[in-house]
Structure 1
Amino acid sequence: MFELEGLFRSVFRMMKSDIRTIFGEFISNGEFRVLQLIRENGALKSSEISKRMEVSASHITSITDTLVEKGYITRQRSNEDRRVVELAVTPEGVEVLAQCEEKKSHYFQQLFQTFEKEEIEHLIELFEKLMSSSVRKS
């Protein structure tokens, strides 16, 4: 089991580092995920993003401040409740997200190019099995 744990750590650390390098000229991994969440769900409150990403509100504030500075998201008052501030993706944010998604997709295609189709399908099955047997169960 220790060998398996070590391999998991090494593989995911490598992938995270590679993706950080790929996104480096654009955004961080956290900024990427926040942009994805907002694009997929429409305007969101910071507290919603924090909950979905399972990180602190202060962490999301830091990320969203950076995204606002870069012009990738805006803060706007809710039409239903003016006290509520919602975050929305700008056209520039949509564009940078599309570029990053394309680069990330290319990275994974390259990473798994030596795998046979059946090996990838088996790997997916194993990860799904691992997720369904998770001790944590969110």
Structure 2
Amino acid sequence: MRRRFDGFSPDWSREGFRRRSPRQAVRLTAGGGKLRVRLSNAYGTSPVRVAGATVARTAAGAAGEPGSIRRLTFAGALQAAIPARGHRVSDASELAVGAWETLTGASARPPAPAAAGRTRRRGARAGR
């Protein structure tokens, strides 16, 4: 059975963000010498784990401008859990930004845990 083509490929609503780092470009209304980033799970029904997040000045597309990329921390940790229907705010990050400047944020989900009971290595043979 063929699926209907809706013009968007890949379709993240069907495939999710496994092994992907979603990026989002945002325009600031105010500038300053430090910034904090708020990650939201306002509509989620279960917690979301973030394995890492960055912010940078936007270069071409949604790429980060080299030299401006900053790793975000949450209470000093690189990883964070965002509760269902909640949010998490990063620690202040040193990045001077101007009003109406565009920044790119990226976040990574942790890898899925290995399936239970799988202990064989690639190339291993059973019965030896």
* Structure in which a larger fraction of residues adopt helix: 1
- Higher relative CO (Cα under 8 Å, sequence separation at least 6) belongs to 2
TM-score (norm 2): 0.21
Select the structure of larger CA radius of gyration: 2
